[in-house]
């Protein structure tokens, strides 16, 4: 792939779910699940964070970040809803051989790709950021395909869209995902799924209360 051509969905590109780390202004780390459009070699990434996100703000300020491929769905679940607790083990860039940017690597990731922003278009609420991989490394093997892990990722995405979807659809989707988890999960996937379900139930209850409150008429 040439440097000028970008990966396209349905052609040479696909969305790869992973974890992006960026540095905040105070040099603390932001950990965020993200699904960039990537080419098969992960030479280029198209990231599309919303302008309200910390990832967007950090990428606009620093122009660099690290994309991680991981099978740790507990980290996906927690990072989707806020700051992971406990925080995963992180390795600063100065301690990582071959890392050419300033950042933090997830120690337990399968692979990481350090990238620099090539272009950033933030005219719309959902931005369009093209990045080029400048260094990469492999830490360990990827476990492999597991339906429960995929179900947790789908549940994490669902949990971030509750304000956009009708409750009936959310519950229907959740029931389907719960079946996959029940049939194929280990303890880790089950715990991640339960964590997300608790958040979903709390949020749906809060949304129901908000909708039932009478509007303040002028």
Boundary (domain end) residue, out of 111, 138, 165: 138
In a domain, 9, yes or no: no
In a domain, 8, yes or no: no
pTM: 0.92
Contact 106, 112 (CB under 8 A): yes
**For residues 62 and 40, what is the distance between their CA atoms, to the nearest angstrom?**
26
Q: Are residues 105 and 194 in the same domain?
A: no
In a domain, 79, yes or no: yes
Domain count within the chain: 2
Q: Are residues 164 and 95 in the same domain?
A: no
Q: Are residues 124 and 44 in the same domain?
A: yes
* CA angle (178 as vertex; 50, 53 as ends), nearest 5: 10
Helix runs in 82-186, H state only:
147-159, 167-184
pLDDT in tens, the chain (218 residues): 445 689 999 999 999 999 999 999 999 999 999 999 999 999 999 999 999 999 999 999 999 999 999 999 999 999 999 999 999 999 999 999 999 899 999 999 999 999 999 999 999 999 999 999 999 999 999 999 999 999 999 999 999 999 999 999 999 999 999 999 999 999 999 999 999 999 999 999 999 887 766 666 55
Domain of 191 in residue numbering reads as 147-211
Boundary (domain end) residue, out of 138, 162, 192: 138
C-alpha closest to that of 170 among 135, 202, 140: 202
Please name the residue that has the structure tokens 């100065």: 94
Phi and psi angles of residue 98, each rounded to the nearest 5 degrees, phi first: 90, -10
In degrees to the nearest 10, what's the CA dihedral of 4, 68, 113, 20?
60
CATH number at residue 72: 2.30.110.10
- List, for residues 84-109, the tens digit of each pLDDT value: 999 999 999 999 999 989 999 999 99
In a domain, 7, yes or no: no
Where on the phi/psi map is residue 144: left (φ > 0), alpha (ψ -120 to 50), or beta? left
């Amino acid at each position: 792939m040439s440097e000028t051509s970008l990966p396209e969905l349905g052609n040479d590109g696909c969305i790869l779910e992973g974890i992006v780390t960026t540095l905040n202004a105070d040099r603390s780390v932001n950990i965020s699940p993200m699904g960039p459009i990537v080419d098969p070699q992960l030479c280029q990434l198209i990231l599309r964070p919303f302008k309200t996100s910390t990832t967007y703000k950090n990428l606009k300020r620093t122009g660099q970040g690290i994309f991680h491929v991981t099978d740790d769905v507990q980290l996906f679940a927690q990072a989707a809803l806020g700051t992971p607790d406990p925080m995963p083990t992180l390795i600063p860039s100065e301690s990582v051989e071959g890392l050419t940017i300033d950042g933090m690597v997830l120690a337990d990731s399968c692979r990481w790709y350090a990238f620099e922003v090539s272009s950033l278009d933030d005219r719309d609420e959902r931005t369009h950021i093209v990045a080029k991989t400048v260094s990469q490394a492999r830490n360990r093997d990827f476990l492999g395909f597991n339906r429960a892990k995929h179900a947790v990722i789908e549940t994490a995405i669902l949990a971030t869209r509750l304000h956009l979807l009708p409750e009936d659809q959310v519950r229907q989707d959740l029931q389907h995902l719960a079946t996959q988890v029940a049939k194929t999960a280990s303890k880790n996937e089950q715990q991640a799924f339960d964590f997300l379900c608790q958040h979903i139930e709390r949020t749906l209850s809060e949304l129901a209360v908000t909708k039932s409150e009478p509007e303040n008429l002028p």
